[in-house]
Amino acid sequence: MGGQTHLSCVRTYNLRKTQEAHELLEKVLALSENERAEIAGNLISSLDTTVDVDADAAWQQEITRRLHEVQSGEVKTIPWEEVRQKGRTLPDGR
């Protein structure tokens, strides 16, 4: 009987946490795009607490290279909506 009570408490706890997370998500989604991006970045950073110095340096070089390509006109950017639409159609084989 004690086990059933424990399971009931766990279910109630998880349901409540899920509801809290759902409500929080609704609030966050109502924020501006910049605010949501800031929160998303902070959440992602909070998941990976180890820093690989070599990987960080490699990413910095890659970012610099790509920025130079865009600024020099070597590559053309594509609007997000176009990329998003293409991404939606590719899995369907179109």
Residue 60 pLDDT more than 80?
Answer: yes
Determine contact, residues 70/77, Cβ cutoff 8 Å: yes
Taking phi over 0 as left and psi of -120 to 50 as alpha, with beta for the rest, 93 belongs to left
Quick one: tokens of 25?
């998500």
pLDDT at residue 13, as a whole number: 59
Stretch 28-55: mean pLDDT, rounded? Answer: 90
Mean pLDDT in residue range 58-79? 96
Give the pLDDT of residue 56: 85
94 confidence band (pLDDT: 50, 70, 90):
low
Whether the CB-CB separation of 37 and 43 falls below 8 Å is answered with: no
Q: What is the pTM of this model?
A: 0.41
Question: What pLDDT does 29 receive?
Answer: 93
Instruction: Yes or no: say if 36 and 28 are a contact pair by the CB < 8 Å rule.
Output: yes
What is the pLDDT confidence band of residue 93, given thresholds at 50, 70 and 90? Answer: low
- Please, what is the end-to-end C-alpha distance for the chain in angstroms? 57
User: Which residues make Cβ contacts (< 8 Å) with residue 70, sequence separation at least 6?
Assistant: 77
pLDDT tens for residues 6-34? 555 556 656 677 888 889 999 999 999 99
